[in-house]
A and B are shown apart, each in its own frame.
Chain A
Amino acid sequence: MCDLQSRIEELEEEFQLLDPRERLELLLDYAARLPELPEEFRDAADRELHRVPECQTPVFLWLTFDDGAVLHAEVAPEAPTVQGFVSLLRELIAGCSPEQVAQIPQDLLHRVGLVEALGMVRSRGLHAILHRVRAMAGQQQSAAAKSQS
């Protein structure tokens, strides 16, 4: 099982050592590592339900828990900041349980100094992505609880 808490602490350390400009460069590295959306999700009939509507650029997210959390994403290529943050979240939660993912701190963007680097208006869209990932994990959790009872 993943140790999300210490991963978050490492992430905070990694970003807080950098100045805002360097934090954006680091986000660009994350963006480059975001894998393509697997084929099985590409033409999903319920695709629109996976859109994050607060983002001005198209963002679609899927969260599976076959063997711990895997975040699958399709982000418009003209939105490297969003790609970077989604990729960061993907690496952060890889292999974690729904309970853990639902508990990612809501102030993650502040903790890693990205609000400072990006500004408030842009951060809002990224907050929405975080909110969505937490909510998707929460749904998994309650679905699992229902099937057990």
Chain B
Amino acid sequence: MAEYAHPEVLVDVEWVLEHRKEVDRIRIVESDEDVLLYDMGHIPEAVKVDWQTDLQHPVIRDYIDKEAFARLCEERGISDDTTVVFYGDKNNWWACYAFWAFKMYRHADCRIMNGGRQKWLNQNLPVEKAVPQYPRGRYRPRDRDLSIRAFRDQVLEHLERGGKLIDVRTKGEYTGELLHMPDYPQEGALRGGHIPGALHIPWQVAIRDDGTFKSREELEEIYIGQHGLSPDDDIIVYCRIGERSSLTWFVLTYLLGFKRVRNYDGSWTEWGNLVGVPIEKGEASS
């Protein structure tokens, strides 16, 4: 079976089981949708990084600045050269989101535990409620790498150039039906639909039933075979707030070796509220 393009970034549960006590060079990080899930029990050596209360700026709609990120790492005993292994709930959505954010802050060695929290729990492996304490790390703040992040103006330019877009949300969100449900005004966007021309490739096509990633052959068949994408394509992925699309970003970039994939973290909660931008409703036009 062909290896993934960057096989080192994906570790399995057994690898974590074997290396989890090497806390002076490895830090396991849990990142979940629910901010309290870690507190219910986590891999004993794991620390928590919350996508919202830790990584997002408390006032501006953006991520924290590089100094705050360095502090966040140091408090968790993460230094510049620490191997950081992410895992989480929901098939690793938030683990991939945190991985993407750490890459944006140019952390060198990031990995994902294949199968996430569920796979660990399913095997009845040890969990712990106590929060482990580690000696403070030493972290040098670095300017963000924006080559993996797309802003709305870049999405517009990309659209005008005919660049490829992938919408990874559910069918209802993609077609715009979901905002039409009566009595539920709180979807966070004033308009429904998708960015014109965006391919609809839901995030879960990359995942097996047990939450692990499909093989390279299977993934190539889907993204390259069925949807006609090529590893040299300039691609922007998006969803509702950028979490599910970071999973697809991870798959394309690290498992398939695509060279230029950006995550549009503003995603539909920004696009669906922008004045004057083009929107397409219904099924894909092509």
List the interface of chain A (C-beta within 8 A of B).
20, 24-25, 27-28, 31, 53-54, 56-57, 78-82, 84, 117-119, 121-122, 124, 127-128, 131, 135
Determine, out of B32-40, B69-77, B140-148, B223-231, the stretch whose residues face the partner at the interface: B32-40
Task: Report B-chain residues with C-beta under 8 Å of the C-beta of A84.
Answer: 36
Contact: A57 with B35, CB < 8 Å? no
Contact: A118 with B188, CB < 8 Å? no
List the interface of chain B (C-beta within 8 A of A).
32-37, 39-40, 52-53, 56, 89, 181, 183-184, 186-188, 241
Contact: A80 with B184, CB < 8 Å? no
Task: Report B-chain residues with C-beta under 8 Å of the C-beta of A31.
Answer: 36
Q: Which of A25, A31, A57, A121 has the most CB of B within 10 A?
A: A121
Contact: B34 with A80, CB < 8 Å? yes
Known contacts A78-B32, A78-B34; 17 further A-B pairs (Cβ under 8 A): A24-B35, A27-B36, A31-B36, A53-B181, A57-B33, A80-B37, A80-B39, A80-B40, A81-B35, A82-B34, A118-B53, A119-B56, A121-B241, A122-B35, A127-B186, A128-B186, A135-B183
Q: 20 pairs across A/B with beta carbons < 8 Å?
A: A20-B53, A24-B39, A53-B184, A54-B187, A57-B34, A78-B37, A79-B37, A80-B39, A81-B35, A84-B36, A117-B53, A118-B53, A119-B52, A119-B53, A119-B56, A121-B52, A121-B188, A122-B35, A124-B186, A127-B186
Task: Report B-chain residues with C-beta under 8 Å of the C-beta of A28.
Answer: 36, 39-40
Contact: A24 with B184, CB < 8 Å? no
A123 shortest CB reach to chain B, Å: 10
B166 shortest CB reach to chain A, Å: 20
Contact: A122 with B52, CB < 8 Å? yes
User: Main SS of chain B's interface residues?
Assistant: loop
Q: In whole angstroms, how far apart are the Cα atoms of A81 and B241 in the complex?
A: 19
In the complex, the chain A residue whose C-beta lies closest to that of B40 is A80
B229 shortest CB reach to chain A, Å: 27
User: Main SS of chain A's interface residues?
Assistant: helix
Task: Report B-chain residues with C-beta under 8 Å of the C-beta of A128.
Answer: 184, 186
Q: In whole angstroms, how far apart are the Cα atoms of A128 and B183 in the complex?
A: 11
In the complex, the chain B residue whose C-beta lies closest to that of A135 is B183
Contact: B34 with A124, CB < 8 Å? no
Q: In whole angstroms, how far apart are the Cα atoms of A57 and B183 in the complex?
A: 19
Return the 3 tightest CB-CB contacts between A and B, nearest first: A119-B52, A80-B36, A81-B34
In the complex, the chain B residue whose C-beta lies closest to that of A31 is B36
Task: Report A-chain residues with C-beta under 8 Å of the C-beta of B89.
Answer: 78
In the complex, the chain B residue whose C-beta lies closest to that of A127 is B186
Contact: A54 with B39, CB < 8 Å? no
With A78-B89, A121-B241 already in contact, the answer to whether A54 and B36 are too (CB < 8 A) is: no
Q: In whole angstroms, how far apart are the Cα atoms of A36 and B151 in the complex?
A: 44
Q: In whole angstroms, how far apart are the Cα atoms of A84 and B34 in the complex?
A: 11
Q: In whole angstroms, how far apart are the Cα atoms of A28 and B53 in the complex?
A: 16
Task: Report A-chain residues with C-beta under 8 Å of the C-beta of B241.
Answer: 121
Task: Report B-chain residues with C-beta under 8 Å of the C-beta of A82.
Answer: 34
With A28-B36, A80-B40, A81-B36 already in contact, the answer to whether A118 and B52 are too (CB < 8 A) is: yes
Q: In whole angstroms, how far apart are the Cα atoms of A31 and B41 in the complex?
A: 14
Q: In whole angstroms, how far apart are the Cα atoms of A84 and B37 in the complex?
A: 11
Q: In whole angstroms, how far apart are the Cα atoms of A119 and B53 in the complex?
A: 6
Task: Report A-chain residues with C-beta under 8 Å of the C-beta of B53.
Answer: 20, 117-119
